[in-house]
Each structure stands twice: as C-alpha cells, then as structure tokens.
Amino acid sequence: MSTTEIAEKAALHELPPLPYADNALDPVISANTLGFHYGKHHKGYVDTLNKLIAGTELAGLSLEQLINETAGKADKLAIFNNAAQTWNHTFYWRSLRAKGGGEPPAALKQKIETSFGNLDACKKELATAATTQFGSGWAWLVLEGDKLKVLKTGNAETPLTKGAKPLLTIDVWEHAYYLDYQNRRADYVNAVLDKLINWDFAAENLG
Ligand SMILES: [Fe+2]
C-alpha cells in the first residue's frame, strides 16, 4: 500500500457499532426502525461524508473539526450536513438504552432541579421542543455555562456549533419513528423519555 493510500484509508470516517442489539429498544423503537435508521440512514451519512471529503483538504480532520470548519458555509453545506448527521446519530444511540427513563443520577438530578424546577418540567420541556420542531431535526438537553437548557435544532444542526455542550438528544426526523408511530411524533417522544432515555449518559457528559 502506498503512503497516499494509507493516508486516504486512515482518513475514512467509520460507522461506530450500535451500543446494543437492534431489538434492544423494542417495543418503543422496533428492530425494524432501528435496522433502517442505523443501517441505512446513519450508514448513508458516513458513506456520503467519506465520498465528499475524499482527496480534499478536509480529509484529515476529525468529525468535530469538520463540523466546526464547515458550519455556516454555504459552499460546504453538504459536508456539514453529513458530518453533523454522522455525529448526531452516534450521540443519539448513546442517549438511549434498554430500560432507560426513571431517575437521573444524583448530581444530574440536582442540576435538573436547579435549572428546571423538577424532572417532570425538564421532560416536558424536552417533549415540547421535540414535538414543536417544524420538520426534521433534533431536541437536546445541553449544558450552557453552568445551567442546563433544552434546545431544538433543524435538519443536521447541532449545539456543538452554538457554544453549548450536548448531554443527550432525541432524533425527531420522521425516519426515527414513522414505521412504528406514523405521524404520532408525540407518542414516540414521550415513550422515549419515559422508557429509553439514558440519564447515565447525560450525567457522564456533564463531566
Ligand atoms: Fe435519524
């Protein structure tokens, strides 16, 4: 293998393995939905990103560097979209777990109470952001300064470029729920918040 071939291979972004089996989130998210979402949509973003950056000056950058480098640049929109969607989906899989929901770990719970009053108010704000995001996008719990906030972003947009630290996310693109819930986005969002959301992952991200 030539040095150039090695460099090109090293620069390829990879589809990280799912952190659980594709039926682990059933029945809230079916294996059918998870299979398409991970195997077709997430994989598609990774493959398209690799094609778009192959042989360009962006090929050696990490995913986070790519997102920051291309954010807000009209001529780099396709690269931004595929890089951010790659990152967002990896973060989304880790924001969920089998037998999730319930009570957050103590340090996170205290922060939630300081920022929102109580856990139910935080969940309600996340559900509202998720259901009112018009069209495709994401709902996020983020750390901004020393306070927790809920954000919603359109399409591939991510809090990474908005000075906020993501703690967890819910994908509200139709591909995330349509096979299981058709148009009932609120049912998907509430089921995710009650049964799948991974507060341990959010607590880890608090740092
Ligand atoms: Fe998605």
Model pLDDT for residues 6-30, shown as the tens digit of each residue: 455 556 999 999 999 999 999 999 9
Instruction: Say whether 153 sits in a helix, a strand or coil.
Output: strand
Structure tokens at 62: 């990490």
Q: 């050696």: which residue's tokens?
A: 60
User: What CA–CA distance (Å, rounded) separates 143 from 167?
Assistant: 7
Share of the chain above pLDDT 90, in %: 94
Alpha carbon of 53 to ligand 1 centroid (Å): 21
Alpha carbon of 156 to ligand 1 centroid (Å): 9
153: β partners = 138
Alpha carbon of 9 to ligand 1 centroid (Å): 26
Among residues 1, 195, 197, 185, the alpha carbon closest in space to that of 105 is found at 197
pLDDT for the residue numbered 129: 98
pLDDT for the residue numbered 2: 53
Alpha carbon of 104 to ligand 1 centroid (Å): 25
pLDDT for the residue numbered 6: 47
3-state helix, strand, coil in the chain (%, to 5): 55, 10, 30
Alpha carbon of 141 to ligand 1 centroid (Å): 17
pLDDT for the residue numbered 1: 46
Alpha carbon of 21 to ligand 1 centroid (Å): 17
Alpha carbon of 41 to ligand 1 centroid (Å): 7
Structure tokens at 206: 């608090």
User: What CA–CA distance (Å, rounded) separates 160 from 66?
Assistant: 11
42-78: per-residue pLDDT in tens? 999 999 999 999 999 999 999 999 999 999 999 999 9
Alpha carbon of 70 to ligand 1 centroid (Å): 20
Positions of the chain with pLDDT lower than 70, given as ranges:
1-11
pLDDT for the residue numbered 4: 53
Alpha carbon of 159 to ligand 1 centroid (Å): 16
